[in-house]
Chains A and B, each alone.
Chain A
Amino acid sequence: MNSLWDSRPIRFSTYAAGLLIGAVLWEYFGGKVNPSYGAPLSATAKRFIFLVSNGQLQDAVLGSLQLYFVGFISAVLAASLFGLLMSRLNYLRVGFENYIMLLYATPMIAMVPFIKSVLEIGFAAKFTVVFLFGFFPVLYNTLEGARSVKPEMVEVAKSFRSGEFALWRDLLIPHTVPFILTGIRQGAGRALVGVVAAEFLISSSGLGGLIQDQQGKYSMSGVFASITVLTAMGLLLMWIGRVLENRMAAWRGLNR
């Protein structure tokens, strides 16, 4: 059963056929529908080139990327530091645990109107949305990781007279980094949702703004071109996350 798929040419051609069928279907049905509901692949590609040639797309990508990285990197740093601190300070952990579970379970998009009314329209509000979308997955995984540090290993460190700083450096952080990376992988996608949500709901800008702009001009091909760019960003982020995780795999998993 599996042997068929061990063959490289067969796998590759099936893979290519799948993509080709998708493209043909998109082209065919996209061309059949009312242009205000959809657009074929060729029109989307043409619109993509147009949006690049007038610079709109690049501006949108840069705006979204800036919001994404400022918001998500801050979230990763804050969440991992806070998670590590919580694992070492019991009163912090016990005091905050419930809030973290509550906020992790809350769909962050529900918070957007509240954030908008407090921080008003601007970068601060959008930053906060992206930050919150990315923060909790990283925090949750950091806590899981830091909590799983074996007490025996803490004892080894104590026996060799490790101070708190060295304990973080030699044990807590190296142990928790793979968990933080898992959190980053989970949070990366969410933060991208946060970017689009902020650009839709706080004030129009970036790729989210471009989608709204193109929709306003009744250009479904422009909407699809923007969505495709977001998809590419999502794929790229997932790929970066996987590469980072694999780099840590040398001693992970195989270890007792």
Chain B
Amino acid sequence: MSVDTEADAAASGQGVKPARIAISGAGKRYGDLQVFQDINLEFNEREIVTVVGPSGCGKTTLLRCIDGLMPVSDGEVRIEGDLMTQPREGVAMVFQHFGLFPWKTVTQNVGYGLKLAGVSRAEIDEKVPYFVKLVGLEGFESVYPYQLSGGMQQRCGLARALAMEPSVLLMDEPFAAVDAQTREILQFELLRIWEMRPMTMVFVTHSIEEAVLMGDRVVVLKGRPSSVFETIDVDLPAPRDRSTLAHPRFAELREHVWATLMDEVRAAEFDVR
């Protein structure tokens, strides 16, 4: 894994663009509890990086630090050069708990971010149907979240984030709360949408299989406090689809990540904390 600082990138020539997201020396502490430490990562313009690790390893916390929802205790997170101390334009997040407003219809939920960004009514009315359709929620425009299944609620959450046309999309275990079949469908749909409009996607997941399937790179967090144990380049053919799951290389990579995490998982299982 290469860790370029901005200065290095600049020195190495004008052909190399600085990474879209640069995390250097990042650590997070809550009082005495060190969640993660010394994290150095760079995410490029068109790539999906998955972050995998056992429960409680701080992967969601790391994602919140990238979004600027909470500050890092040490080091820094930069997106397109800007120090992340608060949420920034061009960065959108999809939440594990969906985070939809129960009193807003699908249309209103999808238009939420645009409205906050001061986009005109006319433009919102034009954009929202496109993204509703993109995620397959056509016909459900005026429905409230409680009338939707979990999978459809997350489609709505995804459309809300995509409507911001972000250059960075942060996914916080987005499919952890939906059933297995729906999860698989959503994974491939997300990949299809990403192919249409690639951006930097940081995808946090608990599932090793999902991490390998979705990621161009897989970042493995490990340890207590956690840090980056390994970054794996996923050399699976694109586009990824159902056949990818049957690819021998997929099985190899999955076993590799699994073996890497196994000690940790085993330790966590007997962790009485």
Contact = CB atoms under 8 A, between A and B. Distances in A.
Interface string A231-256: 00000000000000000001110111
Contact of B87 (A153, A158, A250): A158
Interface string A150-164: 001101101111110
B112 A170 contact: yes
Contact of A174 (B88, B95, B103): B103
A159 B102 contact: no
Contacts of B101: 153, 170-171, 174
A189 to B, nearest CB: 27
B76 interface: no
Interface in A154-190: 155-156, 158-163, 166, 170-171, 174-175
B255 interface: no
B42 interface: no
Nearest to B64: A155
Q: Is the interface of B mostly helix, strand, loop or mixed?
A: loop
A166 B102 contact: no
A182 to B, nearest CB: 16
A209 to B, nearest CB: 44
A153 B144 contact: no
B93 interface: yes
Contact of A160 (B64, B104, B113): B113
How large, as a class, is the contact surface on chain B?
20 to 34
Given A159-B93, A166-B116, A174-B101, A255 B145 contact: yes
B144 A251 contact: yes
A254 B93 CA distance: 25
Nearest to A253: B146
A156 B95 contact: yes
A152 B69 contact: no
Contacts of B117: 161
A72 to B, nearest CB: 26
Interface in B110-157: 112-113, 116-117, 144-146
B99 A152 contact: yes
A170 B103 CA distance: 9
B102 A251 contact: yes
A255 B146 contact: yes
B67 interface: yes
A159 B97 contact: no
A40 B88 CA distance: 75
A252 B95 CA distance: 21
B87 A159 contact: yes
Contacts of B263: none
Contacts of A152: 95, 97, 99
Contact of B99 (A153, A174, A250, A255): A153
B69 A155 contact: yes
Contacts of A158: 69, 86-87
B102 A255 contact: yes
A159 B146 contact: no
Nearest to B67: A159
Contact of A251 (B64, B69, B93, B146): B146
Nearest to A152: B97
A256 to B, nearest CB: 8
A166 B116 CA distance: 7
B235 interface: no
20 contacts: A155-B64, A155-B95, A156-B99, A158-B69, A158-B86, A159-B87, A159-B93, A160-B87, A160-B112, A161-B87, A161-B113, A161-B116, A162-B116, A166-B116, A170-B116, A174-B101, A251-B103, A251-B146, A255-B145, A256-B146
Interface of A: 152-153, 155-156, 158-163, 166, 170-171, 174-175, 250-252, 254-256
Interface of B: 64, 67, 69, 86-89, 92-93, 95, 97, 99, 101-104, 112-113, 116-117, 144-146, 164
